[in-house]
Amino acid sequence: MKEVMGIIHHLKNEKKYEEITQGRCVAAIPYGGKYRLVDFPLSNMVNSGIVNIGVITSLNLRALVDHLGKGEEWGLDKKKGGLFFLPTAISESNRDKRRLDLEDIYVNLDYLHKSVEEYVLISGSDIVCNIDLSKVIAYHKEKKADITMVCKEGYKFSDKDIEQGVYLEKLTSGRVSAISLGVPQVGMVVSMDIYIMKKSLLFSLLQDCSIKGRWDLVSDVLLSNLKELKIFGYAYEGYVAIVNSLQSLYRHQMDLLKPEILQDLLFSKEMIHTKLKDGPPTRYCGGSNVKNSLIANGCQIEGSVENSILFRKVKIGRGAVIRNSILMPKVEIGEDVVLDKVILDKGVCVKKGTKLLSDSEEPIVIEKNKVIRGEVQVKC
């Protein structure tokens, strides 16, 4: 798909992820034991033959740049095309409400002008799926659409996330006849925040947004141009997770413990690429007990782990019990610690005898590099 360039846009409302986005942008959030959220849209583009990809990011870009590097693992370390980091527009208080902020793309017009591709494919950085985007391009051309939006029928948001959704009503031809923000109507499908259009149309939309000073693609462009633009919805049938809050980050990672979802996302289609890291296999010591969990390499387990996800280099002490939890890289768990429904960010150290338990729908979250000493915390 040499005629298509890709843009992964930046999600500015990082407060929805609470402690997890302290010091990192949404695209760099760890996911599924060894991945980052950006790995999924980036891999989908690369696997579909797109070799010119721009990633828009905030000032919290260090973790993202460290993870992606020059794009070697994705085959994007090229002389022509390749991987580009693009700055976001200067943030203001109202901008965190924009679903797709076209001003971020507008401030990078020089990148668009220098790119030779005819089409632009734009994806959010919080969409976890394994989709063949070449089929979306073919559908877009077949329908002679101005804009094609990828959508998912039957997707269920959690109660707190429903208002963040974009919902589409489609005619039998596939053309979008109505768009609803935050309030789904009967028969509507969910937008997956993936769009395809000609670059010439994008230039025209950006110019119009610049004149009007209104930049949200969904509310300011699509809603007001449903009749003028031929907008079609491409129905995706595979697994998708829209990770647009802390609660959905937890819920969808727990989904990976279901074999059918893990198979669909990671093993039945194209490979999801990520940064390679050398390390020893996980060591399961005498007395350890692991059930229904995803364990990355380099871990050392002396206690019990059940229904949990452990990233690289996690250490679990003797007598510790870990249930329904997500432990990010380099977490250290002391002896006799009990965790239930907890997210521990990178480098957290939980000392001997500590108990962190959540009976709520929301997990307990401990921020990066924090040391927890002998505390008992119960969230109801």
pLDDT in tens, 221-255: 999 999 999 999 999 999 999 998 899 999 999 99
Q: Is 18 left (phi over 0), alpha (psi -120 to 50) or beta?
A: left
Domain final residue pick, 267, 291, 308: 267
- Quote the pLDDT of residue 56: 94
CA dist., res. 151 & res. 336, Å (int): 46
- Quote the pLDDT of residue 307: 97
DSSP letters spanning 60-119: --HHHHHHHTTSGGGT---SSSEEEEEEPPPP-GGGGG-SSBHHHHHTTHHHHHH---SE
Same domain, yes or no: 203 and 65: yes
Contact 307, 323 (CB under 8 A): yes
Domain final residue pick, 267, 301, 332: 267
State which H helix or E strand residue 246 sits in: helix 246-255
pLDDT score of 93 more than 60: no
Domain that holds residue 189: 4-267
Residue 278 lies in a domain: no
Q: What is the pLDDT of residues 42-73, one digit of tens each?
A: 999 999 999 999 999 887 889 999 999 999 99
Domain final residue pick, 223, 240, 267: 267
Same domain, yes or no: 40 and 179: yes
Residue 181 lies in a domain: yes
Same domain, yes or no: 309 and 211: no
pTM value?
0.94
Per-residue pLDDT, averaged over 78-86, amounts to: 88
Query: Which residue, among 256, 248, 351, has the nearest Cα to 307 in the 3D structure?
Result: 256
CATH of the domain at 343: 2.160.10.10
Q: What percent of the chain has pLDDT over 70?
A: 98
Same domain, yes or no: 121 and 201: yes
pLDDT tier for residue 277 given thresholds of 50, 70 and 90: confident
Same domain, yes or no: 168 and 232: yes
State which H helix or E strand residue 179 sits in: strand 176-181
State whether residue 138 is helix, strand or coil. helix
Average pLDDT, the chain: 92
Query: Which residue, among 153, 83, 130, has the nearest Cα to 111 in the 3D structure?
Result: 83
- Quote the pLDDT of residue 352: 94
Q: What is the pLDDT of residues 292-336, one digit of tens each?
A: 999 999 999 999 999 999 999 999 999 999 999 999 999 999 999
Helices (H) and strands (E) in the chain, counts: 8, 30
* Strand-pair category, 52-57 with 4-9: parallel
State the virtual CA torsion across 280, 281, 287, 288 in degrees, nearest 10: 120
Query: Which residue, among 348, 342, 347, has the nearest Cα to 376 in the 3D structure?
Result: 342
Residue 191 lies in a domain: yes
Same domain, yes or no: 261 and 295: no
Q: Which amino acid is at 330?
A: K
Tokens of 134: 């070449």
pLDDT score of 192 more than 80: yes
pLDDT score of 371 more than 60: yes
pLDDT tier for residue 92 given thresholds of 50, 70 and 90: low
Residue 276 lies in a domain: no
Same domain, yes or no: 189 and 337: no
CATH of the domain at 35: 3.90.550.10
Residue with tokens 């499908």: 189
Number of structural domains the chain divides into: 2
CA dist., res. 320 & res. 288, Å (int): 9
Dihedral angle sign, alpha carbons of residues 125, 128, 130, 136: negative
Per-residue pLDDT, averaged over 29-39, amounts to: 96
Contact 127, 240 (CB under 8 A): yes
The HSE-up count of residue 366 (CA atoms within 13 Å, CB side) is 29
Query: Which residue, among 103, 51, 117, 111, has the nearest Cα to 86 in the 3D structure?
Result: 111
pLDDT score of 94 more than 60: no
Per-residue pLDDT, averaged over 196-214, amounts to: 94
Q: What is the pLDDT of residues 155-190, one digit of tens each?
A: 988 888 888 889 999 999 999 999 999 888 888 999
Cα 48 from chain centroid (whole Å): 18
Same domain, yes or no: 195 and 334: no
Same domain, yes or no: 263 and 369: no
Degrees, nearest 5: CA angle 87-128-56 = 5
Same domain, yes or no: 315 and 191: no
- Quote the pLDDT of residue 95: 57
Same domain, yes or no: 344 and 261: no
pLDDT score of 199 more than 80: yes
Same domain, yes or no: 108 and 248: yes
Residue 274 lies in a domain: no
Residue with tokens 């793309």: 105
pLDDT score of 40 more than 60: yes
Between 94 and 264, name the one with better pLDDT: 264
- Quote the pLDDT of residue 97: 60
Q: What is the pLDDT of residues 107-128, one digit of tens each?
A: 999 999 999 999 999 999 999 9
Contact 23, 368 (CB under 8 A): yes
pLDDT tier for residue 288 given thresholds of 50, 70 and 90: very high
